Amino acid sequence: MTDRLGNKRVDSYRNILETGRIGLLILVPGMGETLRINGRAAIIRDEAWLSLLTAQGKRPAVAVAVAVEECFLQCAKALIRSKLWEPHARPDLRSLPSAAEMLADHVRVAGFDAAKTQTLLEAAYKDRLY
């Protein structure tokens, strides 16, 4: 796991610093079973490691090393019941606020309404993915 361009929030890193622990849940679209990993974690700033994790010519600021203590499959029952991977069972997204609307409402910065926020999100997804 690396720190790529994003929203500059480091909540997960704070948790690692405070507890030295991590829990990961790996989902693969279309697959019901998930992989759960629990263990110790450390934030890595070593240049040799970070250079190996360069993507699209950009080196991450930090990475996370995980010492796995538990690794197991979780049965698919919860995902089957939720119908997560079934397109016909998904909610009508038009009835929900968009990410831009939620962000604009949450941040409430003058000049950053939902339309402006949507434009910024689209540019970030296109130009700042890595």
Mean pLDDT (the chain) is 88
List pLDDT tens digits, range 3-16. 566 655 666 788 89
Tell whether pTM > 0.85.
no
Task: Report which DSSP code applies to 4.
Answer: -
State both tokens at 91: 């909610």
Sheet holding 21-26, edge to edge: 21-26, 34-44, 63-74
- Concatenate the DSSP letters of all residues of 44-66 into one string: E--HHHHHHT-BTTB--S-EEEE
- What's the pLDDT at 89? 86
For residues 15 and 76, give the distance between their C-alpha atoms in angstroms, rounded to a whole number: 28
pLDDT of residue 18: 93
At 28-70, the pLDDT tens digits run 998 999 999 999 999 999 999 999 999 888 888 888 999 999 9
